[in-house]
Chain A
Amino acid sequence: MLAKTMAEMQAEGQTPEILFWVGCAGSYDARAQKVTRALCEILNHAGISFAILGQEERCTGDPARRAGNEFLFQMMAMMNIETLNLYGVRKIVTACPHCFNTLKNEYPALGGQYEVVHHTQLLQELIQSGKIKLKEGGVFQGKRITYHDSCYLGRANDVYEAPRALLEALDADLVEMKRSRKNGLCCGAGGAQMWKEDEPGDKRINIERIEEALETEPQAIAANCPFCITMLQDGLKAKEKNEHIMVYDLSEMILQSL
């Protein structure tokens, strides 16, 4: 089995060292599910003892809060914190920067204090400590790859280097877009935009971003967020490049190089 739930582990008398927060996209979105599975495989490969909440996990409330629905956010947060505290969770890893931000920055004020890391940070740590070793001459060695900073990992939390360190470990040829790091351009999905039609305008934001990505003439695009991946892939489709250029989550790239 890819992953056990907290309840299953508890029944076996085990306490995992880390909780994998899957998030709504990672649980239900077909593309993001692949990332979820990839991360589980890496964690299993590295011999990390982890668990998920499974059906006890709920939306963190991030899109509700950003839309302005504080009641709904507070309800989700209370229930999640209750669950997390019940299991005595200390450390959380997540592949979603929105979940990451909410768990790390917004739950403490409501009684949820955890050490929260984004999966790119955990993967960097696992490589540094030698718990996972990437094979020589991996698939991405020497490949021209551009990296898209998600807003909620980047500007919101100042994590710029961990994902880039992974690309370096993969021996990929990182080509930066004009707007990167602190000046990175949003994919267009944040602030609950994912769930609504665009306001009237000239262009979709993901098109603007994919055009910039394509200027770097990449062989693949690396991302760290399920929503960015959807947006960038939609952009590639609109540009009819989706058959030549892949958008990968960094965990998928690591898994392919194990």
Chain B
Amino acid sequence: MNVRKSLLLSPYFSPLNEFVMLQIALFLAVLALTGWFAYRGYARVWQNIHLGKPEPTEGNRAARWRNVLLVAFGQQKMFKNWLPAVLHLFIYIAFLITQVELIEILVDGLTGAHRFFAPYLKGFYTFVISFIEVLSVLAFVATVAFLARRNLLKVPRFWKPEMKGWPFRDANYILIGEIILIVGIFTMNGADTVLQSRGVEHYVKTGSFAVSQWLGPALFDSLSTPVLIVVERFGWWLHILTVFGFLCYLPYSKHLHILLAFPNTWYARQTPRGEMSNMPEVQKEVRILMGLEQPDANAATNELPVFGANDVFSLSWKNILQAYSCTECGRCTAACPANITGKKLSPRKIVMAVRDRAEEVGAAIAAGRQSRDAYDDGKSLFDYISPEELHACTTCNACVEACPVLINPLEVILQMRRYEILTQGAGPSDWLPLFNAIENNGAAWAMNEPRDAWRN
């Protein structure tokens, strides 16, 4: 469709006066800046995710779609705990539906039109904006409740050691940003309602919006029309600048889960939770050792193989995608038997450590201080995660079950345990008798009696 032409034909299209021209120019500048910053942010996350090892995606596509639809889109796992689930749902639906309004904001911003779709959609337009307004009120209530839960009620999972500093502030910034966004929407719609009632030119009739029809007059009736126009424009700009700000902020925030939850649920493992990934390289070595296979003639290298994971390079790229999908809600940690009983292990911290290390490594490579192929900054994931944490895990899968976006903290723990035992030759000394008994007696305890003595 020729937008330009239809705009000129539109009876609501006002002449391009200086005020409008200035706004279009500003909008274009802000849009370009947003595009640039957003691109940089998301490209960085993309590159950091791909620091991990390639891992093919196997299994059932139908099951993957089901995960995306039920778990990510439908928030199925949030409903283990209904109160935060309902509050979260308000914000989520408001966010989804507000995207519709954004289309209009973009059109208006680029053309200088005002509520471009109103004359075309008529009653339906009134309905859609009213729907957004009702959801925005619900989202406002939810956001205030979340701020209170976090800061006043001090829900324990938000006050674990790993939540100090940036994670604490990040969560509050997002919630405050949401409140600013909602304030912008109601300032814009409320002022618009009053301007429409005064028959001010350019402010097309939209029908009465569910909330603004009374909120607008209640707040703004006393203001003069020129002031009101400024207030309306302020609301409009506040709204769109907050949205653009969010877009640029997301790749630096735990809030990135709103986007990555979808690919993350798609790529989530389909195998039974109890199944640990096989290590074909170890399998081969053992088969050679047992005389079941011949060693490759030309496989002689002096390099010691690295087993398990000690850094983002030796994890799967999916583990890093998961780390960037984490919104630090701490449901995993609240379900972890080790954490509940005061051990240092917190599955959320494990996931956050993977992301933070990916950030550190990615930044060093991007700045040219390190190369990807010969990366060595003298650090590893073990600088973020201590053996004590790894050793406290009971592999019970409670954290995996708890995660609303199908992150698997256990995989990282087990990969690091493998590194510790197989590559470093370290690990808890308590396990030595276990290993010796298995190796020498084929049993988990060193026993003198035969294995079937219970028969007698």
Given A24-B443, A54-B451, A195-B434 in contact, is the A105-B343 Cβ separation under 8 Å? no
Q: How large is the interface on A (under 10, 10 to 19, 20 to 34, 35 or more residues)?
A: 35 or more
B438–A76 touching, CB < 8 Å: yes
What 0/1 readout, one digit per residue, does chain B (392-412) give for beta carbons within 8 Å of chain A? 111111101100000000000
Q: Which of B391, B398, B420, B444 sits near A185, CB closer than 8 Å?
A: B398
A156–B273 touching, CB < 8 Å: yes
Q: Which of A78, A104, A196 sits near B290, CB closer than 8 Å?
A: A78
- Contact residues in A for B444 (Cβ distance below 8 Å): 24-25, 59, 63, 194-195
Given A24-B443, A67-B434 in contact, is the A189-B394 Cβ separation under 8 Å? yes
- Contact residues in B for A61 (Cβ distance below 8 Å): 438
What 0/1 readout, one digit per residue, does chain A (187-198) give for beta carbons within 8 Å of chain B? 011111111111
Q: Which of B337, B344, B414, B427 has the most CB of A within 10 A?
A: B337
Q: Which of B286, B307, B414 has the most CB of A within 10 A?
A: B286
A52–B452 touching, CB < 8 Å: yes
A86 close to chain B: CB less than 8 A: no
Residue of B nearest to A208 (CB): B341
Residue of B nearest to A196 (CB): B430
- CA A63 to CA B430, docked complex, whole Å: 13
- One of A1-9, A126-134, A240-248 contacting the partner: A1-9
A70 close to chain B: CB less than 8 A: yes
- Contact residues in B for A197 (Cβ distance below 8 Å): 430
B278 close to chain A: CB less than 8 A: yes
A199–B455 touching, CB < 8 Å: no
- CA A2 to CA B423, docked complex, whole Å: 45
A71 close to chain B: CB less than 8 A: yes
- CA A2 to CA B455, docked complex, whole Å: 6
- CA A229 to CA B281, docked complex, whole Å: 36
Contact residues of B between 73 and 118, Cβ < 8 Å to A: 80
Q: Which of B290, B345, B394, B430 sits near A190, CB closer than 8 Å?
A: B394
Given A5-B452, A68-B308, A78-B286 in contact, is the A156-B344 Cβ separation under 8 Å? no
Q: Which of B342, B345, B391, B450 sits near A202, CB closer than 8 Å?
A: B342
What 0/1 readout, one digit per residue, does chain B (132-164) give for beta carbons within 8 Å of chain A? 000000000000000000000000000000000
What 0/1 readout, one digit per residue, does chain A (70-106) give for beta carbons within 8 Å of chain B? 1110111011000000000000000000000100111
Given A28-B445, A72-B438, A183-B80 in contact, is the A105-B394 Cβ separation under 8 Å? no
Residue of B nearest to A152 (CB): B274
Q: Which of B274, B289, B420, B430 sits near A68, CB closer than 8 Å?
A: B420
- Contact residues in B for A66 (Cβ distance below 8 Å): 276, 395, 414, 417
B394–A151 touching, CB < 8 Å: yes
**Min C-beta distance of B208 to chain A, whole Å:** 47
A78–B292 touching, CB < 8 Å: yes
Q: Which of B392, B396, B454 sits near A199, CB closer than 8 Å?
A: B392
B274–A101 touching, CB < 8 Å: yes
A67–B421 touching, CB < 8 Å: yes
Contact residues of A between 129 and 173, Cβ < 8 Å to B: 151-152, 155-158
B431–A192 touching, CB < 8 Å: yes
- Contact residues in A for B343 (Cβ distance below 8 Å): 198-201
**Min C-beta distance of B285 to chain A, whole Å:** 7
B396–A155 touching, CB < 8 Å: yes
B427–A68 touching, CB < 8 Å: yes
- Contact residues in A for B449 (Cβ distance below 8 Å): 28
Q: Which of A26, A33, A74, A203 has the most CB of B within 10 A?
A: A74
Q: Which of B272, B420, B439 sits near A75, CB closer than 8 Å?
A: B439
- CA A2 to CA B419, docked complex, whole Å: 43
B443–A199 touching, CB < 8 Å: no
- Contact residues in A for B286 (Cβ distance below 8 Å): 71, 74-75, 78
**Min C-beta distance of B354 to chain A, whole Å:** 18
A58–B442 touching, CB < 8 Å: yes
Contact residues of B between 228 and 272, Cβ < 8 Å to A: 271-272
B283 close to chain A: CB less than 8 A: yes
A182 close to chain B: CB less than 8 A: yes
- Contact residues in A for B345 (Cβ distance below 8 Å): 199
- CA A19 to CA B278, docked complex, whole Å: 25
- CA A64 to CA B434, docked complex, whole Å: 8
A204–B341 touching, CB < 8 Å: yes
Q: A26-B454, A195-B444 are in contact. List 8 more A-B contacts (CB 8 A).
A: A59-B442, A68-B414, A69-B431, A74-B282, A74-B286, A106-B276, A195-B431, A199-B343
> What are 25 pairs between A and B in contact, CB < 8 Å?
A5-B452, A25-B444, A27-B443, A54-B451, A55-B450, A57-B451, A59-B443, A63-B438, A67-B427, A68-B420, A70-B418, A74-B283, A78-B287, A110-B283, A151-B398, A155-B401, A156-B273, A157-B274, A182-B401, A183-B335, A185-B398, A190-B396, A192-B431, A203-B342, A205-B340
Residues on B close to A: CB < 8 A?
80, 271-276, 278-279, 282-283, 285-287, 289-290, 292, 307-308, 335, 337-338, 340-345, 388, 391-398, 400-401, 414, 417-422, 427-428, 430-431, 433-435, 438-439, 442-445, 447, 449-455
